Amino acid sequence: MTTQVQVHSDAAARAARRSRTLRTAVAGLGAYGWVILIAITTLLPYLWMLSNSLKPRAEIAYYALLPVNPTLDNYIKILTKYPFGQWYLNTFIVTIISVVSTLFFCSLAGYALAKFRFPGRDAFFIFILATVMVPVEMLILPWYVGAFNFKLHNSYAGLVFPGLISAFGVFILRQAILSIPDDLLDAARIDGMSEPGIYLRIILPLVAGPLSALAILTALASWSDFLWPLIVVNIPRMFTMQVGVTFASQGEFQDTMLDWGTVMAATAVASIPMLLLVIFAQKYIVRGIATTGIKG
Amino acid sequence: MKLKLAQKNALWGYIFIALPLLYFLIVFVIPMFQAFYFSVLKYNTLSTNTSFIGFENYKSMLQDEAFWKAVSNTLRYAAVRSIGVLSISLVTALALQHLTRGKNVLLTLIMLPFVTSGVAMAWIFSLLYSRIGPITQILSALDVEHPMLMTNPQTALYAIAAVTIWGSIGYYTLLFTVGLNTIPGEVYDAAKIDGASSWQLFRHITMPLLNPTIVLVSIVAVTASLKNFDVVRSMTGNGGPINSTLTLPLMIYLEAFFRMNMGRASAITFVFFLFILVITFIQLKTLTREVRY
C-alpha cells in the first residue's frame, strides 16, 4: 500500500483528496456499524430479562423475545414474598452513610495533605495511598472476626464501616485542593476566618466538581457491593439489595428447576432504578469518570 | 502562650488528618497484620481450639491441587477478560471519535451495564446460558457439541469472562475516550498534511500518545479481573463444574465461610496479594513506553 502521497500536480492532489473523502466516509460508516453493534449487544440481555419477567410460567420455555400473554404475576409474587422495600431501604441507608462520610473525611484529609505543613505529612500520604493495593479479600477475614467480637454483624454499622473513607478519594481531593491558590486561604485568615470556616466555606465549594464525581462513584460502589454484605449480615431483614436478590433467586427453585420468570422479575426490580438513573444522569457519570478516572 | 504561625498551621493539619489516619490504621493496616497472624494459626471459626502452627497452612495450600487449579483459572480468566475488554473498548472508543450524530444516545446505551451490579448480570446471563436460554438455543442450532457453556468444564470460565466483558465495555470505552481526548488535534492535522494514512496515524500517533492511558487502564482491568468475585460466585456457586471456574477470591471465600478454615483462607489471601503486586509490577515495566513528541 502506498503510504506517502507526493503532491506533484493539481490532478494528483485532487485525486488524493477525493480518495481521502471516500475513505473518511467508509470509516464513518464502519464506526457507526461497530458502535451500533456494541449498543445492541448491550441492550439485548436487558430486553431478555424484561420480557422473561413478564412471561407466565408456561411461556418461559419458548424462547420468543416477546411474551404472548404478558403478566405482572412474577412481580407481584416476588414483591409479596420477599421484603424488597426493606432491602432498598437498607441499601439506601448504607449508600447515604458511605457517601456522606467519604466526602467529608476525604476532603478533610485531602485538605490537610495539600495545604498544611507538618512533620510526617508526606509519609502519611504515601501510607494512605499504599492501602489501595491491599485486596479486600484479605481484609474481610479480620473484619468478619472483628465485627463479631464488637457485635457489629447484622447492623448498619457493620455494613458501612469498611466504606467510610476511601484512599482513592483522599488522593483525588488532595490533587484538586492543591490547585487552589494559597493566597486565597491566607486572605481569608487575615480576614479572621477560622480554619474550620475556611474548610467549609472556601475549600468545599471550590472542589464541588471532584466531590460530586466521588459521590457518584462511591454510591455506585456501595450499591453493587456484594462480598462484604454477604458476609456481615445473615438475617433477611438486614440484607442489602445484592444479597437480597441472591437470596430471593436461590429461593425460587421449583422441582430442581429455577423459576426464571420470578428470578428475572427480582433482577429487574433490583436493576431498573439504576438503569433509569444512568439515562438521566449520564452526563454527570461521564464527567465523574473523566475527572477521577476510576470506579469506586 | 501564643503559638507561632507555623506551629498553628501544623496543629490544624494534625487535627484534620487525625481521624482519617486513625481510620486507615484500624480498618486497613491492623487487619492486614491480623490476617498474617491468622495465616500461621490452626484457626477454625467453629472450634475454640486455636494454636500456632507456623507455615503449615501455606505448605498444605501449595500441596492442594484445587489451589493450583484456582491459580491457573484466575490467570486464564484475567488474561482473556482483560485482553477481550481492552481491545473491544479501544476499538469502540476510536469508533466513537468518528461519530457525529447520535453519539450521546449510543454512549448511554453502552454505559447501561456500568450501573448494573455483578449479581444482576450474573442472573441475567445464567438465564441466557441455561437450557432454555437463547445462547444455548443458537449454539445447538449451529450443531455445537456442548451448547450449554456453563455445564462444560472446557467453556464455563470463558463464558463467565464473556459476561464481565459485556458488563464493562462501556466503562473502559469511557476511560479510553478520556485518554483520546487529551491528544491534541494539531498533531493529527500536521501528520495528515504530511500525507499519513489512517493506519500510520493510529500506529505512530494514537498508540504512543495514548500509552499512559493504556498502562493505567490495563492495570485497572487486570486487577479488577483478578479480584472478580460476585459474578463467579453468583453464576457457579462453588466454582463448578469440577473446579473449572474456581478462582482465588472464590476459594478464599469458600475456605473461610464454608469450611470455616480462617487460617488457610488467610494464607491464600497473602499469596493472592503477592500475585496482584507482581502482576501490576510486570505490567508497569513492560507496558510503559517513553513518549517523545
Whether residues A119 and A250 share a domain: the answer is yes
Whether residues B35 and B146 share a domain: the answer is no
> Where does residue A60 rank: exposed (0-12), middle (13-18), buried (19+ CB within 10 A)?
buried
Whether residues A110 and A149 share a domain: the answer is yes
B57 part of a folded domain? no
Higher pLDDT, residue A25 or B115: B115
Q: Could you tell me the residue range of the domain that residue A44 belongs to?
A: 10-53
pLDDT bin (cut points 50, 70, 90) of residue A295 is very low
B267: nearest CA partner in chain A: A138
Q: How many domains does chain B have?
A: 2
A268 part of a folded domain? yes
- Angstrom distance (rounded) from CA B144 to CA B171: 32
Q: In 3D, which of A266, A71, A118 has the Cα closest to residue B10? A: A118
What φ, ψ does residue A254 adopt, rounded to 5°? -125, 125
**Residues A170, B20: C-beta atoms closer than 8 Å:** yes
Whether residues B181 and B223 share a domain: the answer is yes
Whether residues A39 and A164 share a domain: the answer is no
pLDDT single digits (tens) A103-142: 999 999 999 999 999 999 999 999 999 998 888 989 999 9
**Residues B130, A258: C-beta atoms closer than 8 Å:** yes
Which residue's entry shows cell 494559597? A182
B193: left (phi over 0), alpha (psi -120 to 50) or beta: alpha
CATH number of the domain that A123 lies in? Answer: 1.10.3720.10
pLDDT bin (cut points 50, 70, 90) of residue A2 is very low
**Residues A27, B171: C-beta atoms closer than 8 Å:** no
Tell me which chain A residues have a C-beta less than 8 angstroms from the C-beta of B20: 105-106, 108-109, 128, 165, 170
pLDDT single digits (tens) A165-180: 999 999 999 999 999 9
What pLDDT, on the 0 to 100 scale, is given for residue A3?
A: 43
Q: Could you tell me the residue range of the domain that residue B27 belongs to?
A: 5-52
Contact criterion met (CB below 8 Å) for B129 and B149: yes
- Angstrom distance (rounded) from CA A170 to CA A291: 14
Q: What percent of chain A has pLDDT over 70?
A: 92
**Residues A139, B32: C-beta atoms closer than 8 Å:** yes
B 99-128 near A (Cβ less than 8 A): 99-100, 104, 106-121, 123-128
Q: How many domains does chain A have?
A: 2
Whether residues A256 and A133 share a domain: the answer is yes
CB-CB: which of B38, B113, B132 is closest to A60? B132
What pLDDT, on the 0 to 100 scale, is given for residue A7?
A: 45
pLDDT of A294 higher than 60: no
Cell numbers that stand for B250 in this block: 472464590
Instruction: Report CA Rg, chain A.
Output: 27
Mutate one of B9, B15, B16, B172 to test the A interface: name it (highest A CB count within 10 A).
B16
Whether residues A157 and A24 share a domain: the answer is no
Tell me which chain B residues have a C-beta less than 8 angstroms from the C-beta of A36: 106
Whether residues A86 and A44 share a domain: the answer is no
pLDDT single digits (tens) A214-261: 888 898 889 989 999 999 999 999 999 999 999 988 887 766 678 889
